[in-house]
Amino acid sequence: MKKIHTHIPGFPRIGAQRELKTALERHWRGESTAEELAEVGRTLRSRHWAAQRDAGLDFVTVGDFAFYDHVANHIQLFGCEPARFHFRDEPALARYFTLARGRSGGERCGCGQEGAALEMTKWFDTNYHYLVPELDADTRFALASTRLFDEVAEAQALGHAVKATLIGPLTFLWLAKATDGSCRLDLLDRLLPVYGEVLARLKEQGVAWVQIEEPILGLDLPQAWRSAFETAYWQLNQAGAQLLLATYFSPLEENLSLACRLPVAGLHVDGVRAAHELVSVADWLPVHKVLSAGVVDGRNIWRTDLDAVLATLAPVLDKRGGRLWLSTSCSLLHVPYSLAAETALDAEVESWLAFAHEKLAELALLKTAIEAPGSAAPALAATRAALASRRASPRVRDAAVRARLAALPADAAQRKSPFAERRLLQGAMLNLPPFPTTTIGSFPQTPDIRAARAAFRRGALDSAAYEAAMRAEIAQAIRRQEALGLDVLVHGEAERNDMVEYFGEHLAGFAFTRHGWVQSYGSRCVKPPVIWGDVSRPAPITVDWARYAQGLTEKPVKGMLTGPVTILQWSFVRDDQPRLDTADQIALAMRDEVDDLQRAGIAIVQIDEPALREGLPLRQSRQAGYLDRAVRAFRLTAAVARDATQVHTHMCYAEFNDILPQIAALDADVITIETSRSAMALLDGFGDFRYPNDIGPGVYDIHSPRVPGREDMLALLRRARAVIPAEQLWVNPDCGLKTRGWDETESALRNMVAAAHQMRREANSRKPLEAA
């Protein structure tokens, strides 16, 4: 007799209509009480548990909900809020929001001052950002929050069978940072007793299973961390709770036998990204333990090929005596709620998709297909038909795109001349001063701009009127930049809602959802486009805007594009071909845009790649392969530029020092990067590496409302000047300015231009000395 259990590692928390976002922002504005916010939390949890129960899952998952971030919940659970958050006697929820947002009320700022928010960073290779726990050698842990236990009681009161979830101790420490440079692993002995208490308490509450998440088992771990798993889990096992050790996002590889051996009652593995390991896990994992196979993709939105999954599972079921748990590969946090809300999606494309709710139904169907194959047959046939239509659809494959890619000449990704020659030509053309000043692309997206766009979208403004409104914005942005004395101007991106969505909307092969929101951090959500087919560019996208802007000024105006890797990285990407094949198609489309811009008389084209590093695979062994292809996709876009056309690129979020050779290999004439928050620490890497082309290290942090003074920026520029030759240096903010207001933007840029002028004076007065 085959016996299948179903569950999920976690469910999205923001609400199908982003109710949590609305409630949080109201609360932060002081328009609702903590109790009112708590009520929204309860409503959402009960709804999400009901969805799990209604889909026939054997347990609902408790502990995946968070008002801001689940890692922050653990910081409070373990009582390790950094000392700077203790100085006022605030209630736990208020302290929680201070951890997340800092004390100045609203704006996050990473300045490291008292009351500054915790740093935020990406959750593995997802677009979700967690708050980084700050620990040091003196950190003590103590069970300090009842939130998890309260939520368990809440679910039980609603009649649910509960599986609680916790981040495991090793992953928690791995994700933290030691502010004093001490070894985080040394804190394990102090942390484990608190886990013991948590587990004992959950057991007392009658929780049948505790999922304990250790996704770092899919990383290349130092030996000390691997060994620590054995001692830690031996100790956790003493609490007597049934533990389901959960891994995801990456194959276990050399940690496979370790994971199978740990003294826990069950193991969850990612059956999508590590599908090839399922049979080995089934072999290695002792039969008395539960195997949870995450066969439905929690990271993407395509309908599951249920036949293929059933075929993969057949040998696994044999080995497990017909007993198995089925699940999504990871928490559904990373996908939107439900297709039911999509009223305007292309019907054919929609039939190929599955969001969180549809994935729950897929699990239910898989369970039936194994336990009672006959009754699942009609539903399986429907899935089969949808998948067949996707495979056979003439819309998915574009013969012209494929032919063009196949016929690309060997040097298609290669600029004609080396940088040294291009630089001379560009210098003669552009005639820029030393330390040229520029900005990253966007200017404030004012309420007027957003109102005009909203009116245009609902049909209240016709396209001529909308275009006129955007042209007026561009014209005033150009006037302001001229008045400030900037050297290289931008048109300001008023016409763009979002740097990826805007291009996606103008490319073939993309679909857009109405409500496909996914949490990025806190109350912030993104709505990634869906790339379902071959990508091509039906018509030029930015050329008219760029030509218009350039016509208003004698100064060069940069053409502004989003690079192929970033478009890929911030979308849901088709899974029927290698991801980077899709990047090549986007690259080809954007290459044509670069060419059209230069033909229209645009002398500088910027191709933004802020997400280049985000696609880096979690396992080192795959990183070089990814970087090769990513760099090539960028170069394919850029290499159509003539020698005299200056190519810029822009990246944010630091941490480049380990990929500097690849950044240099992009061969952009100028790169602008974010460095101000790390006080230029990043630049040391560029200096040591002797980065060959021009660099604009961001001299002010656009994420903070503080207007930096001329002296602040001068100090940063002098630091930059110490490691990078002066003739390579540009002066710019560290990212686009669309979230700022005009007043602060103009004040900051005025100071920035003044700082550049001072640098020029210092260079001039030094010259005679150096010559002497």
In the complex, least distance from residue 77 CB atom to ligand GLN, rounded to whole angstroms: 33
Choose one: 46-54, 680-688, 716-724, 735-743; the region binding ligand GLN (CB under 6 A). 735-743
In the complex, least distance from residue 511 CB atom to ligand GLN, rounded to whole angstroms: 23
**Span 404-423, contacts to ligand GLN by CB under 6 A:** none
Q: Which is nearer to ligand GLN, 441 or 504 (CB)?
A: 441
- Nearest-angstrom CA–CA distance, 16 and 445: 27
In the complex, least distance from residue 503 CB atom to ligand GLN, rounded to whole angstroms: 12
Cβ pair 167, 70 in contact under 8 A: yes
Which element (helix H / strand E) includes 765?
helix 742-771
In the complex, least distance from residue 442 CB atom to ligand GLN, rounded to whole angstroms: 3
Cβ pair 336, 356 in contact under 8 A: yes
Q: How far is CA 199 from CA 166, 235, 268, 576, in A?
A: 10, 11, 19, 42
Query: Applying CB under 6 A, what is the total number of residues that bind ligand GLN?
Result: 13
Q: Which of these, 564, 557, 529, 563, lies nearest to 543 by C-alpha position?
A: 557
Q: Which is nearer to Zn ion, 511 or 654 (CB)?
A: 654
Cβ pair 653, 616 in contact under 8 A: no
Q: Which is nearer to Zn ion, 331 or 649 (CB)?
A: 649
Q: At 27, list the tokens.
A: 């609360």
Residue 117 contact, options Zn ion, ligand GLN, none, Cβ 5-8 Å cut-off depending on partner type: none
Residue 441 contact, options ligand GLN, Zn ion, none, Cβ 5-8 Å cut-off depending on partner type: ligand GLN
Cβ pair 10, 61 in contact under 8 A: yes
Residue 593 contact, options ligand GLN, Zn ion, none, Cβ 5-8 Å cut-off depending on partner type: none
Q: Which residue is nearest to ligand GLN (CB)?
A: 736
- Nearest-angstrom CA–CA distance, 626 and 578: 11
Select the residue interacting with ligand GLN from 560, 580, 654, 716 (CB under 6 A).
560
76: Cα separation from own chain's centroid = 24
Q: Which is nearer to Zn ion, 597 or 735 (CB)?
A: 735
- Nearest-angstrom CA–CA distance, 50 and 160: 9
* 444 near ligand GLN, judged by CB under 6 A: no
Choose one: 45-53, 243-251, 344-352, 436-444; the region binding ligand GLN (CB under 6 A). 436-444
- Nearest-angstrom CA–CA distance, 70 and 44: 15
Q: Which is nearer to Zn ion, 214 or 608 (CB)?
A: 608
Q: Which is nearer to ligand GLN, 113 or 739 (CB)?
A: 739
In the complex, least distance from residue 502 CB atom to ligand GLN, rounded to whole angstroms: 10
* 131 near ligand GLN, judged by CB under 6 A: no
Q: Which of these, 248, 186, 249, 250, lies nearest to 212 by C-alpha position?
A: 248
Q: Using CA atoms in the order 564, 565, 569, 572, what is the torsion angle rounded to 10 degrees?
A: 40
What lies within 8 Å, CB to CB, of 196 at 6+ separation is 235, 236, 238, 239
Q: Which is nearer to ligand GLN, 358 or 746 (CB)?
A: 746
Annotation marks residue 268 as catalytic: no
3-state SS assignment for residue 210: strand
| HSE toward the beta carbon, residue 559, CA cutoff 13 A | 31
In the complex, least distance from residue 630 CB atom to Zn ion, rounded to whole angstroms: 17
* 735 near ligand GLN, judged by CB under 6 A: yes
**Span 576-635, contacts to ligand GLN by CB under 6 A:** 608, 610
- Nearest-angstrom CA–CA distance, 428 and 27: 56
DSSP 475-543: HHHHHHHHHHT-SBB--B-TT-S-TTHHHHHTSEEEE--SS--EEEETTEEE---EEEEEEE-SS-SSH
- Nearest-angstrom CA–CA distance, 676 and 717: 10
What lies within 8 Å, CB to CB, of 766 at 6+ separation is none
Residue 603 contact, options ligand GLN, Zn ion, none, Cβ 5-8 Å cut-off depending on partner type: none
* 441 near ligand GLN, judged by CB under 6 A: yes
- Nearest-angstrom CA–CA distance, 263 and 244: 10
3-state SS assignment for residue 86: coil
- Nearest-angstrom CA–CA distance, 295 and 274: 9
3-state SS assignment for residue 198: helix
* 499 near ligand GLN, judged by CB under 6 A: yes
Select the residue interacting with ligand GLN from 73, 426, 438, 442 (CB under 6 A).
442
3-state SS assignment for residue 315: helix
Q: Which is nearer to Zn ion, 516 or 698 (CB)?
A: 698
Q: Which of these, 717, 705, 769, 710, lies nearest to 743 by C-alpha position?
A: 705
Cβ pair 545, 380 in contact under 8 A: no
Q: At 266, list the tokens.
A: 């069950």
Residue 560 contact, options ligand GLN, Zn ion, none, Cβ 5-8 Å cut-off depending on partner type: ligand GLN
Residue 511 contact, options Zn ion, ligand GLN, none, Cβ 5-8 Å cut-off depending on partner type: none
* 735 near Zn ion, judged by CB under 5 A: yes
Q: Which is nearer to ligand GLN, 440 or 518 (CB)?
A: 440
Give the amino acid at 56: G
Choose one: 237-245, 438-446, 620-628, 640-648; the region binding ligand GLN (CB under 6 A). 438-446
Q: Which is nearer to ligand GLN, 292 or 569 (CB)?
A: 569
* 549 near Zn ion, judged by CB under 5 A: no
What lies within 8 Å, CB to CB, of 44 at 6+ separation is 13, 15, 19, 20, 65
Select the residue interacting with ligand GLN from 176, 440, 469, 583 (CB under 6 A).
440
In the complex, least distance from residue 101 CB atom to ligand GLN, rounded to whole angstroms: 20
- Cβ neighbours, 10 Å, residue 554: 7
Residue 703 contact, options ligand GLN, Zn ion, none, Cβ 5-8 Å cut-off depending on partner type: none
* 528 near ligand GLN, judged by CB under 6 A: no
Choose one: 128-136, 383-391, 427-435, 437-445; the region binding ligand GLN (CB under 6 A). 437-445
Query: Applying CB under 5 A, what is the total number of residues that bind Zn ion?
Result: 3
Choose one: 64-72, 362-370, 395-403, 646-654; the region binding Zn ion (CB under 5 A). 646-654
Residue 442 contact, options ligand GLN, Zn ion, none, Cβ 5-8 Å cut-off depending on partner type: ligand GLN
Choose one: 331-339, 386-394, 440-448, 506-514; the region binding ligand GLN (CB under 6 A). 440-448
Choose one: 94-102, 715-723, 732-740, 762-770; the region binding ligand GLN (CB under 6 A). 732-740
Cβ pair 434, 427 in contact under 8 A: no
In the complex, least distance from residue 121 CB atom to Zn ion, rounded to whole angstroms: 16
Q: Which is nearer to Zn ion, 271 or 610 (CB)?
A: 610
Q: Which is nearer to ligand GLN, 546 or 735 (CB)?
A: 735
DSSP assigned state of 612 = G
**Span 634-693, contacts to ligand GLN by CB under 6 A:** 650, 652
* 652 near Zn ion, judged by CB under 5 A: yes
Q: How far is CA 415 from CA 112, 306, 593, in A?
A: 42, 46, 16
In the complex, least distance from residue 126 CB atom to ligand GLN, rounded to whole angstroms: 17
Which listed residue (7, 74, 650, 703) is catalytic?
Answer: 703
- Nearest-angstrom CA–CA distance, 199 and 697: 48
Q: Which residues of the chain form contacts with ligand GLN (CB under 6 A)?
A: 440-442, 493, 499, 560, 608, 610, 650, 652, 735-736, 738
Q: Which residues of the chain form contacts with Zn ion (CB under 5 A)?
A: 610, 652, 735
Residues known to be catalytic: 703
